[in-house]
Amino acid sequence: MPEAERKLEPRDGLAVRYAEKMASDFRTVDQAFLGELREHFSDAEIAEIGLLIGQYMALGRMLVISGGHKYACEIYVPPGD
């Protein structure tokens, strides 16, 4: 869903943007974006959110390579499945 159409609280929307950046191009999590995060989150919260994002990204990838996505997720279907 495009960011403009989301109806999220500012902190939640920022956490979603953080996850999108980490998933699509982690290099876009630059000092400017970290500054934006720090306006709403403590450094500990930023670290915790980052670790959770990484954990769920890794879990999703592990499910795909093991074939578990066929049973765990009804949304994602890789090409050729």
pLDDT digits (tens, 9 = 90+) for 33-55: 999 999 999 999 999 999 999 99
What pTM value is reported for the model? 0.75
- 24 assigned to some structural domain: yes
Q: State yes or no: pLDDT of 77 exceeds 70.
A: no
pLDDT confidence of residue 32: 97
- 43 assigned to some structural domain: yes
C-alpha span between 53 and 2 (Å, rounded): 20
pLDDT confidence of residue 64: 82
Specify the number of domains making up the chain: 1
- 20 assigned to some structural domain: yes
What is the rounded end-to-end Cα distance, in angstroms, of the chain?
25
Residue 24 identity (one-letter amino acid): S
- 32 assigned to some structural domain: yes
- Average pLDDT over every residue of 7-30: 93
Structural domain for 53, as ranges? 3-72
- 63 assigned to some structural domain: yes
